[in-house]
Chains A and B, each alone.
Chain A
Amino acid sequence: MTAPMPLTLRVNGERVDADVLPRTNLADFLREHLQLTGTHVGCEHGVCGACTVRVNDEIVRACLMLAVQAHGTSVQTIEGLSDSGEIVDLQEAFRARNALQCGYCTPGMLMAAQDLLKQRIAPSREEIRGHLSGNYCRCTGYHAIVDAIEATADARRRSAR
């Protein structure tokens, strides 16, 4: 079956039916079939983290998953998180602290950061760095990114009180 295979999944809450070649990875499927180009493709072997998306609510590398493996799953991309408003505060903190320059790593950074913030109410800077250890940024030197995530955690804690 080097021919296309049928694929049904949910992407950002919407049902998607498509036919894809087995060799198509999830990142390329999202970008090229669905035009969801917020998921970036960097190293294509799992090192850089630019392609981080959620599959069934867990972050994964979209370059290390075949689109056909996502059959029957629910995928959320940076577009979904942006449009729902789930990370509006995190995005604002990134902007306010210059936690991005070229922006290439930013979608993956936001996905990984929000994954941590969902699990930990008050992550230490070390924990933040640990959770982002698989996401490369070649511009910022990471400090501003860690600052933005820490500030978002603080703000969310205060507003939850």
Chain B
Amino acid sequence: MKASAFDYARATSIDDALRLLATHGRAARVLAGGQSLMPAMNLRLMSPDIVVDIGGLSELKGIAVRESTLHIGALTRHSDLLRSPEITTHAPLLAAAVAHVAHPAIRNRGTIGGSLAHADPAAELPACMLALDATVIARGSRGERRVAASDFFTGIFETVLAVDELLVAVEVPIARKNSAHFFHEFARRHGDYAIAGLAARAVVESGHFSELRLAYFALGDRAVLANAAGKLVNVAVTPALVRETSAALAEELDPHEDQQASSAMRLHLARVLLTRAITALLGRPELAGAAP
């Protein structure tokens, strides 16, 4: 189908974009790379009265290392993340994840800010932000605020962003010594939305986890940081402990059912991902048989 008619405004600055958003409120949608908004508009799932195109705002582009954090502008594209030496060095989890995001032609347009603001529960980047303990920077007419990624996503396509706020950047703590990451997702076809996925980041010292963040996606109404990971921190990881952690996932994951998978299958896949992540992060293949 074709998008229904709308007005179009090309923002000339962040302030100009904020003015437009404040004027039009819920009738406006922000257009960044358009790789989620355009399909939704073509399918008429969304019919904004006005589209505010921020695509030309160069101040929202780019990746910079600032002391112990990586500053990533909202308009940084998936293809930029994939090619960036700063990302490869300081946030390799992101590079691993982006390879799973759609296809090359879409990665050339889609942006990190767009993906996060869109908040698709099956998307890769929101889960990465949780795993990396990132901070989202939003700007509104009353100034800038910083929101922890774990507080940013509130539901299906829902975030804490107000209608007159713009996501301008994210800050990701740079990978420390002994940092390790794991990323995997199950999808019918490469580039499709995941049936279940896991983005994990750990600090491994003397063979055990001193830090472990497990961010699941496509398993609920938003990406979720599994508390069960805490069971594995600062202890000797045994097959029995892996089984206990795997069992505990049922207490906090309540996956939805759809045409791709039942709730039980999604929970099973979450457990498979858990075992694979622990095995890979600790480099202990013998743990692979401990749980599903």
Contacts and interface: CB of A to CB of B under 8 A. Distances in A.
Interface residues of A, number: 33
Nearest to B4: A23
Contacts of A1: 7-9
B5 A60 contact: no
B279 interface: no
B105 to A, nearest CB: 4
Interface of B: 1-10, 31, 34-35, 38-39, 42-43, 51, 53, 55, 79, 102-106, 108-109, 189-191
B105 A28 contact: no
Give chain A's interface secondary structure class.
mixed
Interface in A55-72: 58-61, 63-66, 68-69, 71
Contacts of B190: 129-130, 133
Interface stretch (A45-53, A80-88, A92-100, A144-152): A45-53
A49 B7 contact: no
Given A65-B34, A69-B53, A21 B108 contact: no
Contacts of A60: 105, 108-109
A51 to B, nearest CB: 9
Interface of A: 1-2, 5, 21-23, 25, 28, 44-46, 49, 52, 58-61, 63-66, 68-69, 71, 112, 115-116, 129-131, 133-135
Contacts, number: 95
Given A61-B106, A65-B109, A23 B39 contact: no
A46 B39 contact: yes
Given A23-B2, A23-B5, A65-B109, A131 B39 contact: no
Contacts of B39: 45-46, 64
A46 B5 contact: no
A68 B8 contact: yes
B34 to A, nearest CB: 6
Contacts of A21: 5
Sorted from nearest, which 10 A-B pairs have the closest CB atoms? A134-B103, A22-B8, A45-B39, A64-B38, A59-B105, A58-B108, A133-B190, A133-B191, A23-B3, A2-B5
Contacts of B79: 58
Nearest to B38: A64
A64 B103 contact: no
A82 B205 CA distance: 57
Contact of A5 (B2, B8, B108): B8
Contacts of B38: 25, 45-46, 63-66
A60 B107 CA distance: 8
Contact of A134 (B5, B6, B43, B102): B102
16 contacts: A5-B8, A22-B7, A23-B5, A25-B38, A46-B35, A58-B108, A59-B104, A64-B109, A68-B53, A69-B31, A115-B105, A133-B190, A134-B102, A134-B103, A134-B105, A134-B106
